[in-house]
Amino acid sequence: MKLQFLAIYLGYIHMFTILKLTRHAQLHEWLLEVERTVREESFRASVVALILEGRPEEALKILSDYFKVETPRLEVGMPKRHTGMAGCYLASKATIYVAGRERLFDPRIILHEFYHHLRTTGGKHRGTEKHANNFVRGFIAAYVDRDRTSCKRDSSLIEANQS
């Protein structure tokens, strides 16, 4: 009887240990996912910041390295048949064109056209305008959230210093 009880007891201990390890592994996986998400959001926000700071070439280099593609060229002035647009991407020249110098600092245009560069393989475009716009929204949202978070943190520090 005592041996049976001991076997059952050890079975429960073993089962709870496995459950604890499973929960620990799940928690570890969740923490890794949160860390990856935070890193990705920070990356996106920093790319937008670079463009807004007047460093679009640097932003394109970082994006290209991240996505493991060649860095596209960046030129001011629209090619023939593309006038009247804010920007475009020509796969044949692997170049992002923007209508004017001020457009170089518009993350919506630079990121939208980079998406087309990213989705072009073998000279053929594989993306859509809808997906390009969603790609841009993700970057802009990360930048806005970063600013919102840092503003809250800054105001909290100011309030704490005033006390």
Looking at the predicted structure, is the pLDDT value of residue 151 above 70?
A: no
Q: So what's the pLDDT on residue 125?
A: 67
Q: So what's the pLDDT on residue 36?
A: 75
Q: So what's the pLDDT on residue 5?
A: 57
State mean pLDDT over 118-138: 83
CA–CA gap between residue 98 and residue 112 (Å, rounded) = 11
DSSP string, 46-115: HHHHHHHTT-HHHHHHHHHHHHT-PPPEEEESPPTT-TTSSEEEETTTTEEEESSGGGGG-HHHHHHHHH
Angle at 16 between CA 13 and CA 21, to 5 degrees: 125
Q: So what's the pLDDT on residue 39?
A: 82
Looking at the predicted structure, is the pLDDT value of residue 157 above 70?
A: no
